[in-house]
Amino acid sequence: MKVLVTGGLGFIGSHLVDRYIDLGCEVIIVDNLSTGSLANLNPNARFVSMSLVEEQVADLINVEKPDIINHHAAQVNVRNSVANPFYDIETNLIATIKLLEAAGKAEVKRFIFSSSGGTVYGKTPSRAIPESYKTNPISPYGINKLASEFYIKFYAELYGFQAVILRYSNVYGLRQNPQSESGVISIFINRIKNNMHPVIFGDGKQIRDYIHVSDVVNANILFSQLNSSLQGTFNVGTGKGTSLNKLLTFFYSHYPDGKVPVYQDAKNGDLFYNVLSINKLTSLGWSPKISLEKGIKELCQTQGDIS
């Protein structure tokens, strides 16, 4: 099976590439290295340095004719999308449409898309939200993710390929960039281990659903079987919420001398509560395997800071 992974040198994409390689797949990575790193390159994958808005992408897909396209390349900074919405449109929406056009013409069998359960629903009540809940994104990033979902459904119907949309909650794990605003866990561990105060915007009672990257990869693999008819839109999370204040206690159990947090004014547009219902996905046999406490411990151990 031949798989093309966009963003395959990034945080989630590189873990996904590793798993595909382990399963014996032929893997092609397309990444422009805007946020990805060559340090994440699996030597058994083929790497093409290219932006998805370039016309050569269609030529590449037409020549390679992958069985599956797994689309993880994106501009993921919500605040940057507000500051520069045109760039977000080009990078997250137009690039996706071009990829879909090429996929359809090359007779790709399956298209998997990493969407955002943290942004497409907008403000939500304090309960786990199912896929059927109304979508109401409040940022250009969320708007373009949702628009991409509609285009994926359109092109899947037009060309007859199978489409899978995975709405992720807050993903964490090894290789996450501590400079990324979406990686609060990597930000916290980076500051605490370097004897810096972790910074919390607001009162720290904000609730999020944190999922380990390996569980996200497992969800992708579930939908990567060509003999399967599984398709549709699925939340990928744990169904459990954790406040920022609670999250910090997991770190302090490993760094008892870590500096206390500094609280600053909440940022405009920040959501208070975002937890995803995963009943639809668990009904297919998938379930998250790594608890937040275990995941943070393993992350700290991997970085060589604790035994």
Identity of the residue numbered 57: V
Tokens 């990805």 map to which residue?
A: 36
Report residue 244 as tokens.
């920022």
Catalytic residue among 20, 121, 133, 141: 141
Identity of the residue numbered 60: L
C-beta of residue 222 within 8 angstroms of C-beta of residue 229:
no
> 177 CB contacts (<8 Å, ≥6 apart)?
11, 35, 183, 186
Burial class (CB in 10 A: 0-12, 13-18, 19+), 232: middle
Tokens 């050569």 map to which residue?
A: 56
Report residue 39 as tokens.
């340090």
Tell me if residue 191 falls in helix, strand or coil: helix
| No. of helices (H) and no. of strands (E), the chain | 11, 14
Q: Would residue 20 show up in a list of annotated catalytic residues for this protein?
A: no
Other Cβ atoms closer than 10 A to 277: 19
Quick one: CA dihedral 143, 144, 148, 150, positive or negative? positive
> 147 CB contacts (<8 Å, ≥6 apart)?
93
> 39 CB contacts (<8 Å, ≥6 apart)?
none
Report residue 194 as tokens.
């370097």
The radius of gyration of the chain from alpha carbons, rounded to an integer in Å, stands at 19
C-beta of residue 148 within 8 angstroms of C-beta of residue 93:
yes
Tokens 């609280």 map to which residue?
A: 263
The residues annotated as belonging to the active site are: 141
